[in-house]
Amino acid sequence: MNVFTAFPLWQAPAPAGDGGMMLLMIVAMFVIMYFFMIRPQNKKQKEIANFRKSLQVNQKVITAGGIYGTVKEINDNDVVLEIANNVKIHIDKNSLYAAAADANSQAGK
């Protein structure tokens, strides 16, 4: 038996099927990615944006760095937090993550 007859290397390629099935699978993959990854992230970003818009003085918050504090003053782009007695820091509004009560209730679940 010859090697070339046992394993024919010069076979004709299989006929290509319809590309419609491949296109359908790619579209389905993007739809699944949208519903499981992109949409929940957008909802979370909207929640955080609404939280930042509704800030109030004397509200307990958590920063993105994990600092717990109480809002003492709200400006256009920054917030003054009191993190201890007479210890106040200025932070950017975008670094506020959540209300301390909300974070504590989620940690208990």
Report mean pLDDT in 10-residue bins for the chain, 109 residues.
Answer: 57 64 89 90 90 91 91 93 94 86 58
Please state the pTM of the whole predicted model: 0.60
- The CATH number of the domain holding residue 88 is 2.30.30
Question: What is the C-alpha to C-alpha distance for residues 102 and 109, in angstroms, rounded to an integer?
Answer: 11
At residue 46, the pLDDT reads 92
Residue 74 backbone phi and psi in degrees, to 5: -120, 125
At residue 48, the pLDDT reads 87
What total number of domains does the chain contain? 2
Helices (H) and strands (E) in the chain, counts: 4, 5
Residue 69 and residue 32 in one domain: no
Residue 72 and residue 105 in one domain: yes
Question: What is the C-alpha to C-alpha distance for residues 75 and 103, in angstroms, rounded to an integer?
Answer: 24
Q: Which residue has the tokens 């958590």?
A: 62
Contact in structure between 90 and 80 (CB atoms under 8 Å): yes
Encoding tokens for residue 90? 């200025």
At residue 82, the pLDDT reads 95
At residue 2, the pLDDT reads 58
Q: Which domain holds residue 37?
A: 23-54
